[in-house]
Amino acid sequence: MTVLQAISEALVSPAFPWKSVVIGVTVAQFAFETYLSFRQYRVLARKQLPDVLVDEIDKETFEKSQEYSKAKIKFSVVSDVFSLLQNYALVKFNMLPRLWHAGQAVARKLLPAKYMAVSPVAQSLWFLFALSNLSTLLGLPVSYYSHFVLEEKFNFNKLTIKLWVMDMVKGNLLGYALGGPILYVFLKIFDHFETDFLWYICLFFLVMQVLAMTLVPVFIMPLFNKFTPLEDGELKQSIEKLAKNVHFPLDKIFIIDGSKRSSHSNAYFTGLPFTSKRIVLFDTLVNGSSVDEITAVLAHEIGHWQKNHVLNLLVINQLNLLFIFKLFTSVYRNESLYNAFGFFVSGGTAPGQQLASTQVVTQSFPIIIGFMLYNDLLTPFECTLQFFLSLMQRAQEYQADAYAKTLGYAKNLCRALIDLQIKNLSTMSVDTWYSSYHFSHPTLAERLTALDYVSEKKKA
C-alpha cells in the first residue's frame, strides 16, 4: 500500500477525527494572525518616523496615527477571539445540524404546507437563511463597537444609529433577493452535474464576477449612497483632459456622499476592462484636496487600467477558483466528513433509531455543509495565498504610481498621498511580516521612496 493510498483510506474512515482537525486548523490560523498582530503592535511603540516622512508629518499627527493603529490592532484581536469562540461552538456543539433544523422550522412557519419545499437545494437555502440571520445578530456588538466607539473616538464615524440599522436591513434584504437566487443556481449545478461540475461552476463564477462589476456600481451602490454627477468646472476639465490624453474610456464622473458614514477619503473607477468607465470621487476627497492632487490620484487609478490590473485579478481569481473546486471534487462526497458533523445521507448509517437535534438525515450530500467544512480545511492554503496576493497587489500599486509619474504627476501624487495619510491617520510604522500578509498597498514611506520624493523643506 502506498502512502497516498493509506492517507486516502484514513480520510474516509469513520474514526478519522474531522472535528479535531477543523478546530485545530481554526486555532492555528488564529494563533498565526495574532502573532502577526503582536509583531505589529510592538512596532507601533516606535517614537521615530520613517526618514522620508520626518519633514512631512508632525509629531502630534504621528502619535495620533500610532494610537489609532494600536486601537485597531486591539479591536481586531478581540473580534478574532470572538470569531474563534463562535467557530469553536459551531463545531464542538454540533450547531450545524441544529441550524439545519432551525431553517426547516422557519420554512414551515413562513410557507403553507402545500408549498413547503423539501428538496436538498431548498433545505440548504433555508439552512443558510438561519445561519446568516444568526451571524448578523452575533455580529451586531462588533459592528457597533467598530463604528460608534473606535471610529467615533478618532472622529471618523459619521454614521447615525438609524443609518447603521438601515444599512443592515438593506444589506440583508439584498442578500435574500440576490444571494438566494445565486446560491440556488450554485447548488443546482452540483445537484444536476454531480461529479462533473467543475467547469460549470467556474463558468458560473466568471459570469457572476462580470455581472457584479457591471451591475453593482449602477444598481446596488446607489441604494446606499447618493451619486451626483461632477459639475462643470476646473476639476472636471482637468480629469477629462487627463482621460483624453491617455485614451482612457471615460463615461461619467460622480461624487459620492461618503461623508455621511465616514470622514475617510477615496477614489476609484468602475467598469469592465474593455468597456467605458465611471470615475467615483468621495466628497471628502473633493472637499479636502486640490484639483492637481485629485487629478494625480486619478492618474494612479488610470495606471491600473493601463496595466490591465483589473483583468489580471479577474484571471487570477478564476484560476484560484479552479484550483479550489478541483480539490473540492476529492472531498465533497466523503461520508465520514459529513457524519462527523451530524449529517447522514439517506441509505447510510445513522446512530440510533431516533435522531437527536444534533443529527440530520439528508436525501443527498449537503453540498453547502461540505463546502463550509472544506473551506475551514483549506485555511493553510488561503493564508499562504494571501501573502502572494498581497505581494502582487503591492507590485501593482507601485506600477500605477510609476505610470502617474511618467505623466508628470509624481509631485502632486506624493502630496496627495501625504494629505490622505494625515487625514486618514493611516499606519506609518509597520512590521514587514504583518504588512506582507495584511496590506494590499505599500506604506506611504515605501511609495514616496519609490517615487523619488524629496521634501520641499529639505530642498529649502
Summarised one tens digit per residue, pLDDT across range 98-155 is 888 888 887 777 766 555 556 778 888 889 988 999 999 999 999 999 999 999 999 8
Distance separating alpha carbons of residues 208 and 202, to the nearest angstrom: 10
CB atoms within 10 A of CB 173: 11
Provide mean pLDDT across the span 351-368.
72
Which range among 32-41, 328-337, 400-409 shows the weakest confidence by mean pLDDT? 328-337
Q: What are phi and psi of 163, to 5 degrees?
A: -65, -40
pLDDT in tens, 423-445: 888 888 899 999 999 998 898 89
Q: What are phi and psi of 361, to 5 degrees?
A: -105, 125
Q: Provide the greatest CA pair distance for the chain.
A: 86
Q: What is the pLDDT of residue 2?
A: 63
- What's the pLDDT band for 245 if we cut at 50, 70, 90? very high
Q: What is the pLDDT of residue 427?
A: 87
Distance separating alpha carbons of residues 412 and 422, to the nearest angstrom: 15
Domain ranges of the chain: 17-344+354-458
127 Cβ contact list (under 8 Å, min separation 6):
99, 100, 103, 366, 368, 369
Q: What is the three-class DSSP state of 376? A: helix
Read off the C-alpha cell for 278: 465611471
pLDDT in tens, 15-55: 688 899 999 999 999 999 999 999 999 999 988 888 888 88
Q: Over 60: is that where the pLDDT of 4 sits?
A: no
Read off the C-alpha cell for 21: 482537525
Give 118's strand partners.
none
Distance separating alpha carbons of residues 410 and 408, to the nearest angstrom: 6
Positions annotated as catalytic residues are 301, 401
Q: Which amino acid type is present at position 72? A: K
Q: Is 397 annotated as a binding residue?
A: yes
Q: Is 304 annotated as a binding residue?
A: yes
Across 72-86, 156-170, 212-226, 255-269, the highest mean pLDDT is recorded for 72-86
Read off the C-alpha cell for 288: 479636502
CA R_g for the chain: 25
Are the C-beta atoms of 91 and 23 separated by less than 8 Å?
A: yes
Element (H, E) at 360: strand 360-362
Q: Over 70: is that where the pLDDT of 271 sits?
A: yes
- What's the pLDDT band for 56 if we cut at 50, 70, 90? confident
Q: What are phi and psi of 402, to 5 degrees?
A: -65, -35
Q: What are phi and psi of 332, to 5 degrees?
A: -70, -15
Q: Which amino acid type is present at position 127? A: F
Q: What is the pLDDT of residue 13?
A: 67
